[in-house]
Amino acid sequence: MGQLTGKTALVTGASTGIGLATAERFIAEGARVYLTGRRKQSLEAAVQALGDRAIAIQNDVSDLDDLDRLFRRIADDGNRLDILFANAGGGEADQPLESLTPEAFDHTFGINVRGTAFTVQKALPLLNDGGSIVLTGSSSASRGVVGFGVYSATKAALRQFGRVWAAELAPRGLRVNTVVPGPTDTPGLRGLAKNPGQADAMLDGMAGSTPLGRAADPAEIANAVLFLASDQSSFITGSELFVDGGEVQVYP
């Protein structure tokens, strides 16, 4: 018996990186997992690797009609949800105030804030009382990193949403927590490098901001998400769990 045996989870942004690692961890603990992402080929590869307890649904969280289709599909399958990991998100590294455009602002807020808010809202009718909602934050929300103003602002917004939702959903026994990764070696983070040859150097530079002196493996973040999703954290809600190698707590 795994920690999630008999449970059904939805992981958004699950085709690579932290989302994929978390889906794999959930399945290893006995869950059935719906995975979403925008890239069909990556999703299909993920499901092939994860096996028959993984179900892929191509989805863009910034598209509300697409979100409706997602939850209608889960309902049509006859399933309800015990766990929602609202992980889909993204952003660009080089968005300083002087060159920020309305289009870039709207795009990042549309995915990270609007997309997450309405993912959680539209999931509520399918979520079983006593279930768990986990949001993906970022250590950048607690630091002043040049060029990350919009991205870090979206993650700070999610932090506050998590606190408010924890209060609003407590009567249903739904817990809402935020996992806060630091630098993590994912395709998404590597994609922020100006060219692929600079990705290792960029990660090494980010690793220097942590006392542990390295970037996280996505599986290390997935372990923390499992804790927040499982009954092991049954008296934890409205919290932020920093999985950042000490970046924020030791080097604020």
Question: According to the model, what pLDDT value does residue 252 have?
Answer: 66
In tens, the pLDDT along 66-92 reads 999 999 999 999 999 999 999 999 877
Indicate whether 192 pLDDT > 80: no
Catalytic (active site) residue 251: no
| Domains along the sequence of the chain with CATH | 8-181+218-242 (3.40.50.720), 187-215 (no CATH)
Average pLDDT over residues 182-204: 78
Average pLDDT, the chain: 93
* CA count, 13 A, side-chain hemisphere, 192: 21
Question: According to the model, what pLDDT value does residue 133 have?
Answer: 98
Quick check: 31 and 85 in contact, CB under 8 A?
no
Annotated catalytic residue within 151, 165, 227, 242: 151
- DSSP assignment, residue 110? I
Question: According to the model, what pLDDT value does residue 187 have?
Answer: 77
Average pLDDT over residues 94-101: 88
* SS3 of residue 187 by DSSP: helix
Indicate whether 4 pLDDT > 90: yes
Calculate helix-pair angle for 149-169, 102-109, nearest 10 degrees: 30
Indicate whether 46 pLDDT > 80: yes
In tens, the pLDDT along 117-166 reads 999 999 999 999 999 999 999 998 998 888 889 999 999 999 999 999 99
Cβ-Cβ contacts under 8 Å for 95 (sequence gap 6 or more): 104, 108, 147, 148, 149, 150, 151
Indicate whether 172 pLDDT > 90: yes
Quick check: 56 and 111 in contact, CB under 8 A?
no
Quick check: 12 and 86 in contact, CB under 8 A?
yes
Question: According to the model, what pLDDT value does residue 144 have?
Answer: 84
Rounded Cα distance between 116 and 76, Å, is: 22
Rounded Cα distance between 49 and 51, Å, is: 6
Quick check: 136 and 184 in contact, CB under 8 A?
no
With cut-offs at 50, 70 and 90, classify the pLDDT of residue 190: confident
| In the chain, % of residues over pLDDT 90 | 81
User: For residues 50-85, b (16+ Cβ closer than 10 Å) or e, as one string?
Assistant: beeebbbbbbbbbeeebbeebbeebeeeeeebbbbb
Rounded Cα distance between 9 and 12, Å, is: 10
Question: According to the model, what pLDDT value does residue 204 have?
Answer: 78
Average pLDDT over residues 8-27: 97
Quick check: 139 and 180 in contact, CB under 8 A?
yes
Of the two residues 124 and 1, the one the predictor is more confident about is 124
Determine whether 138 is exposed, middle or buried from the number of CB atoms within 10 Å of its CB (0-12, 13-18, 19+).
Answer: buried
Nearest to 154 by CA among 107, 193, 192: 107
Rounded Cα distance between 109 and 250, Å, is: 29
Say how many Å lie between the first and final Cα of the chain, rounded. Answer: 40
Helix (H) or strand (E) run with residue 66 in it: helix 64-76
14's tokens: 């699950």
